[in-house]
């Protein structure tokens, strides 16, 4: 907007004097992240939810691990993320800061360069019913 990057948001209080130019994409190539989920005995754990939580800007992603504990996230924007795996979790719960407060130290940090790939091993968070 008037040559200013407004990707973090902007506010219009009236009609703009000049046209607003919209550029889709960041100009950086997306990448891939391969994840292996294991338990405390370092054994693969399948059929669990894996969430990719951005540190700052970025999109949340999630997928189910296959029976061998493997997940591949594709089309991931460059940046820093934390990976989490749960035996049981409510869908999208990881997008709530209140929910994540108990798990922040359990995530696996991963960094992705433009067009790059990364791999990580994540320990599954066991199901613990609330009383």
pLDDT at 3 over 70: no
pLDDT at 2 over 60: no
Q: Which pLDDT score, from 0 to 100, does residue 99 have?
A: 94
Give dist(CA 100, CA 94) in Å, integer: 6
Q: Flag the least confident range among 21-25, 42-46, 58-62.
A: 21-25
Contact yes or no for 76/55 (Cβ under 8 A): no
pLDDT of 28-57, one tens digit each? 788 999 999 999 999 999 999 999 999 987
Give dist(CA 22, CA 131) in Å, integer: 50
Helix count and strand count (H, E) for the chain: 1, 7
User: Which residue bears the tokens 């599954």?
Assistant: 124
pLDDT at 7 over 60: no
- Confidence bin at 87 (pLDDT 50/70/90): very high
- Confidence bin at 16 (pLDDT 50/70/90): confident
pLDDT at 131 over 50: no
Q: Which pLDDT score, from 0 to 100, does residue 129 have?
A: 62
List beta partners, residue 6.
Answer: none
pTM reported for the whole predicted model: 0.76
Buried b (16+ CB within 10 A) or exposed e, 73-102: beebbbbebbbbbbeebeeeebeeeeebee
Give dist(CA 58, CA 13) in Å, integer: 27
Q: Which pLDDT score, from 0 to 100, does residue 18 have?
A: 74
Architecture of the domain spanning 32-123: Sandwich (2.60)
* Average pLDDT value for residue range 1-18: 65
């Amino acid at each position: 907007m008037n040559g200013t990057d407004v990707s973090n948001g902007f506010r219009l209080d009236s009609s703009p004097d000049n046209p607003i130019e919209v550029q889709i994409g960041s100009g950086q190539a997306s990448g891939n992240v391969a994840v292996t989920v294991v338990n405390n005995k370092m054994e693969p754990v399948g059929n669990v939810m894996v969430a990719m939580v951005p540190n700052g800007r970025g999109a949340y992603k999630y997928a189910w691990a296959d029976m061998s504990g493997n997940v591949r996230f594709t089309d991931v924007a460059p940046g820093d993320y934390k990976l989490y795996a749960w035996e049981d979790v409510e869908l999208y719960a990881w997008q709530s800061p209140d929910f994540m407060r108990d798990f922040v130290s359990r995530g696996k940090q991963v960094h992705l360069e433009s067009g790059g790939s990364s791999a990580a091993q994540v320990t599954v968070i066991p199901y613990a019913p609330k009383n």
